[in-house]
Amino acid sequence: MPYSPSTTSSTSSSAASSAASSPLVLGVDLTAAGARPGVHRARGIVQPRSFDGERFVQLVRTADAGGLDLVTLDEGFLLHPGRRQVTGRLDAAVAAARVAPHTRRAGLVAAVDTAHVDPAHVAQAIARVDQASAGRAGWQVGLPAGAVVQDDAWAAQALGAAAQVVRHWDGQAAGATGDTAGGVAVDDDGRFRVDHDGIRFAVRRHRPAEGEGPAGHRDAAPRQGRPPVVVSVRSEAALHLAARTADVVRVAATAPARAVRLRSQVRDAAEAAGRDPDTLRVLTEAYVVLAEDRASAQARLELVEALEGPEISGGLLVVAGTPDDLAETIVDWRDAGASDGFLLRPSSLGPDLDALVDGVLPRLVRDGVRAVASPAPRTLRATLGLPDDGAAGPRPAGAPAAARTRPRGRTADSRLVRA
């Protein structure tokens, strides 16, 4: 049952000041677009609906027009599952490229794993989304298909691969043996060798003309230098990976005190790695059910859990209430130094996304917490308040250490927030 957290914790004022000094980042996770039956309905029982590309574009345009900063597509971006089976998987970078020309402001963050995808291919894919969106692409370091644990082996592989991806964006990738096409090694016949489940096969590539990259496209370089790198932290190994590579860190916490500790750990680990912790944005993930009154939101949450199972929230903070309730939760967590922003997962994509852009965002603007969305397109780095060149290297010698985050006292009210 939802409860009203009333515990308090001590924290220094530097926690709040470090969060308040950066833009309040708000994003929406649309990984579930078409991925489960319940997300397309407001109430009642309907037949599962297959993935609809045009519907997906409409959802992203709603988020974009409403002033959200980010749209994320995780590695679980599915074509269409049954209750317990998956019949297809969509490429998040391809989907992001599909919607890029139809948006003007929101960043498009695609999860692509580097265990089975060459870092040069990852760099190319994200760079082309960045080109199509005029500098609004981001890359999430993804888990391989079917993987559910962020273990040490994955983190070590991802760390090296992420460094290669960034070098490709910087134009500093070391040349591989043989010919190259946009940083991807090919043989004399224009083929790229791929190993898959022990079977070797070759895909013949178009031999690019002068000035063209692979497949006949003009060479693409990211418009914003380095697209932001996103890491979802669900393990100690992922935390250390995020501290060394990420610009945006996604964390799951169901109470402000836990979020404060996670944010502090990420920032401390980043500083230990020689980075300025103020160049990171730590976002709390939340599963939201919004309605005009709390009773209706709670009833819909109970209906979804009855149909899809109580684990539908994925262990995230659950906020079931009115748009004002969600807005107050966001502000309270940010003021407590628990978060630099939120990444929200709507329970029902249509109604909850509409409530988010029509109710929550206007409330935050009206209260002066967020500025009115800029009508002029900006790069994703600018929207997040990150350095233009993406550099987050060691602090100069003699530079003061960044402020640490420590909990400070907050008392929440009676909003429907559930751990």
Mean pLDDT by 10 residues, the chain (419 residues): 37 55 89 55 46 84 95 77 56 92 95 90 95 95 84 94 94 51 52 52 50 47 91 94 96 95 96 95 96 96 89 92 97 95 93 96 94 82 83 37 38 50
Last residue of a domain, one of 220, 255, 285: 220
- pLDDT value at position 15? 54
The length of the chain in residues reads: 419
Q: Which domain holds residue 24?
A: 13-168+227-387+402-418
Residue 4, domain member (yes or no)? no
Name residues whose C-beta falls within 8 Å of residue 332's C-beta, 6 or more positions apart in sequence: 256, 410, 412
Q: What's the pTM?
A: 0.80
Domains: count for the chain = 2
109 and 43 fall within a common domain: yes
Separation of alpha carbons 47 and 39, rounded Å: 12
Same domain, 124 and 22: yes
> Residue 229's closest CA among 381, 41, 418?
381
Write down the pLDDT at residue 388.
78
320 neighbors 355 (Cβ within 8 angstroms): no
Q: Do 237 and 352 fall into the same domain?
A: yes
For residue 258, the domain's CATH number is 3.20.20.30
414 and 354 assigned to the same domain: yes
Pairing of strands 137-142, 107-113: parallel
Q: Name residue 210's amino acid.
A: E
Q: What is the pLDDT of residue 415?
A: 53
Token couple for 390: 């993406």
Residue 8 counted as domain residue: no
